[in-house]
Every structure is written in C-alpha cells, then in structure tokens.
Amino acid sequence: MSETTIPVLRREDAGDDAAREERPRPVWWRRVADALKPAGWPLAAGALAACGFPPLHLIPVLPVAFFLLMRSVSQARTMKQAALAGFAFGLSLHAVGLYWLINAVLIRASDFWWFVPFPSLGCALILAPFAAVPAALCRLAPAGWRRGTLFAGLWTLCDMARLFLFSGFTWNPLGSDWAFHGLPGDILIQPAAWIGVDGLTLLTVLLAVLLPLGRRFAMLCGMVLLVWITAGAIRFHEVVRNEITTRDQPVVVLVQGNVAEKDKISRSDIQDVFDRYLRLTQQGVATGLALAAKAPGAAPPVVYVWPETAYPGILEEDGLSRTVIARTAAGASEGMIGSLGTGPDGHWRNSVVAIDGAGRFLGRYDKARLVPFGEYQPPFLPLQVVPGGGMTPGPGPVSWHLPGLSTAGPLVCYEVIFSGHVVDRKDRPDWLVNVTNDAWYGNSAGPRQHLAAVRLRAVEEGLPVARAANTGVTIVYDARGHDMGRLGWGTEGTLVRIMPRPLPPTLFARFGQAIPAGLCLISIVVALTRRRQFS
C-alpha cells in the first residue's frame, strides 16, 4: 500500500467530529414538522378542490388539486405517508366545504360558544380517513394511468361508504360539482339518470387524475367530456317527447315564511308566525285555484306545503289548528305541513303531517335520516350538545296515497341527500315533496349545496320535486332537474306551479347504487390487471 493511501487524522477533523457529537438532537416539534411535511401540499390541494363544490362550481381547479395530491402520494416513501397525504387532502376538502356548519352554533353562541370551532373541523376529521384509504391503497398500482384509475375507483367506493357513518353523512360528493344553475347544469347532470351522482363522482375524479398525465390523456379526457355533454343534451331534450301521464298532477302551493331561526328557537312570536303562514297560504291557494281553473280538462287538485317545523307544535294532536288551517286554505284538496311529532316511545320526531280539506288528519311521515350532532348525537360524544337529547328516526321512505291526489313521496330536509334511498322501490311515487329549514346555516354555501342534492335526486329517479324551504330556496324541479320556478333566499312568499309529470323509472331508479359500485369495481380490476403500459 502506498504512503498516499494511508488516512491521516488531522486535528481539524477531530474537532469537527467532537462538535458533531456535541450538536443537540432535533427537538420534538422538529420531528413532528418533518413527519407532517408530506401533508403540506395536500392540505392546500384539498382546500382548492373544495372550490368545485356549489355554489362556486370551479371545476377547472380539480385537475390541479388532484395532481398535487397524486404527486405527494407518489413521492411518499411509505404507504403510511401516502395515507397521511390523503388524510390532509380530505381534512381541508371537508373543512372548507363545510365551513357553514359554524353558523348553526353561532345561533346559540351564548350556550355553545365553546363548540364553535368543532362542527366544520370535527366533521372534517371524521371524514378525512375516507380520503386516506384510496391515497394509501392506490400505491398498489404502478404510477401513471393505472394508479389514477385505481385511486378514482377507491375514492368513489369510500365516498359511498359514508352512507354507513353514524346515521349517514354523504354530503358534497364531487359529482355534485356539475350541478350548475341553468342549462349547462341541466345537461351535465343528465348522466346521473344512468349512473347516479356517485357515477358522476367516479368520472370527475378519473378526469381530474388522468388529465395531467400528458397530451394523449388530455385528448382522451376531452373526448370523454364531449360524449358526456352530447349524451346529456340528447337525454335532456328527448325525455320531453317521451313523458308519460299516469294521473293528473296537482297544483302545488309552496309557502316560504322566511322565519329567522332565532325567532323559531325563542318561540317569542309563535302567533305572529302562525298568522304569517295562514296569510301566505290563503293568498297562494287563491292563485292555485285560479291556475287550476285554466288547466285543460278537469281542474287538478290544489295542495299546499309548509316547510320543515313550520307549525310550532304537534299538529297531529291539535285539531283546532288543523281546522283553522283548512278553512284558511278553502278550496285546496290537501295540505302537507312540517311539524314536530312524538312516537310511541315519547321521543320527538321531525315530521310532515297531511290533512284534508276539512282539517282531518290523513297521515304523518317521520324523518328517517337524522343529522349527526344536530338531531342525533353519536354515542362517543361525552357532552350533550343536541337539544332535548335528540330525535328518533322514522322507518324510511314511504309513498302517500292521499284522496284525489297523485302519489307523493315525502322527504324531510337532510334525508334528500341520500342517493338511491329517497323512494319506496315497491311503491314508486309520482312526485317528491321535500320540506326543509336551512335557516340554521344562513345565507352561505350550505343551502346551495343542499339544493344541488335535491336537483340530482330528481334526475336520478326521473321524478319531479317540489321543495318548500323556510328561508329559501323554495323551488320546483321537473324530472330532468330543470328549474320550473323558485323563490330566492331570504324572501317571503308563495310559489305556485302545476307539478310536472314523472318519467318512466330511470336505469338508476331500477338498480340504484349497484351501478356506480359496479363501475368502481371495474376500474379497480382494470387498474390491477397486468397488461402493456399505455404511457
């Protein structure tokens, strides 16, 4: 060995080694920061993706948001880091998308001021794992179109699994991003009649993850979008020619009282609120009777609808109030009125009560899907935050066969968001009636997101929907999800329309969520099947 190859330890080197040994180890917060570093871009990307939700509908941001997420997933050193990236994305997506939940707490801030930070962030923490799972498992496929396809299928399956979370929380599927107001939205949401909103979610995520992969995939995405628009336009215009008449549809009088939620809670002006609804009903029924008289053939029946809990009591047990309402609405065939109810167990129910032209009680529908933390308290929550201990759910969708009226399917507020679970499959109604009170959430994105869900249910089921909302938006959609008239947010008045006709059961109405679930499984199988790479 030559002399030049013998290492010589210099004094300076020894000093550097000593200094290196004396250098303090990173403190705990640096370790935490290093561990969370992979979550930085996904946090920003999730907040960006939330801009696609109603009412913004900024769909062009989705490819950017999912590109940032997928890059973080691919750069993750372990599956655990990939799951963390997905968790961060889902956390910010839902925290921003559900920001308006804070408004419900602010209404009772004097009692629940300490709870203000928790609704949006708490729900986001619960929902974030549904994004972490696809982010982690998509690494089972090689990077590129396979990983993106696997991710889209897993994302949609996990999104659908939110149906089983507590009493269910399927709010804001990405497929609802396409429910623009007006003709563009009418066309873009038509494929929901075949594949449901979850199928639209699958397509949305597929387009978002494949578009950034190169020119060929961008062209493929453009072709898919062109087919989507063409198929939607054809269905939107063709179904009008193929409408069927089962029975004459009624004239609906939808009453929007515009009662502030603080007034409803304080119950300080119960009589004034009741008088307001009586006055509006009288005016609306008079307009409805005049419209019915102009209809060709026999005059259709007139039915009036009050929003969720519009009657400040238990209407089923108050014969005097039912008589007063019926006399005020003289000439109407029936009324459907949002009210409280009680079950055999004595617990409260959120209900819709049907009465006839004489005020006689015809039936009651109890809300089946309760709002977690609002009407229903999950058992793991240590403190009681739901007033009165919460409510008891009803048995599920029913169809009302009221005298002289086409069959109606009642829905209360939040339960209209559950795709594939809004009608009695064995007794399909001719139209849906949705009563709601979105005053809890103020003039925010929340009521608009809720409205998008109502519109998508009309398309999925091929059924028109009449929606009576306390503070808006009160609206009538035909069986294509087309706006037939509305009352905007924060106005007092009535909306009077002849209900559009139903369509034959759609493909989705026949097979429900089995269709999008099957499409997700096909995506997963294609992604995991070995074959020649396209890129």
Place of tokens 């603080």: 262
Of 164, 172, 158, 115, which Cα lies nearest the Cα of 374? Answer: 115
Ordered by start, the domain boundaries in the chain are: 34-239+516-528, 251-503
Residue 355 has pLDDT above 50, yes or no: yes
Distance, in Å, from the CA atom of 455 to the CA atom of 464, rounded to the nearest integer, reads 9
What's the fold here for domain 251-503? Nitrilase/N-carbamoyl-D-aminoacid amidohydrolase (3.60.110)
Distance, in Å, from the CA atom of 301 to the CA atom of 356, rounded to the nearest integer, reads 12
Buried b (16+ CB within 10 A) or exposed e, 309-339: bbbbebbbebeebbeebbebbeebbbbbbbb
**Is 350:367 a contact under the CB 8 Å cutoff?**
yes
pLDDT of 246-279, one tens digit each? 457 999 999 999 999 888 877 778 999 999 999 9
Residue 241 has pLDDT above 80, yes or no: no
Q: What is the pTM of this model?
A: 0.90
Query: What is the full DSSP assignment across 242-269?
Result: T---SSPPPEEEEEE----HHHHHHTTT
Instruction: Please state, for a pLDDT cut of 90, what percent of the chain lies above it.
Output: 76
**Is 434:409 a contact under the CB 8 Å cutoff?**
no
pLDDT of 17-54, one tens digit each? 555 555 555 666 566 556 566 788 999 999 999 999 99
- 498, two tokens: 């002849």
Q: Report the Cα–Cα distance between both ends of the chain, in Å, rounded.
A: 52
**Mean of per-residue pLDDT scores for the chain:** 90
Distance, in Å, from the CA atom of 355 to the CA atom of 53, rounded to the nearest integer, reads 38
pLDDT of 45-97, one tens digit each? 999 999 999 999 999 999 999 999 999 999 999 999 999 999 999 999 999 99
Distances 133 to 32, 122, 138 between C-alpha atoms, Å: 22, 19, 8
Whole-number pLDDT of residue 391: 87
- 60, two tokens: 């062009």
Q: What are phi and psi of 426, to 5 degrees?
A: -85, -10
Residues in the chain: 535
Buried b (16+ CB within 10 A) or exposed e, 203-215: bbbbbbbbbbbee
| Strand ranges across the sheet with 431-436 | 408-412, 431-436, 465-469, 474-477, 483-487
pLDDT of 115-152, one tens digit each? 677 788 989 999 999 999 999 999 999 999 999 999 99
**Is 433:411 a contact under the CB 8 Å cutoff?**
yes
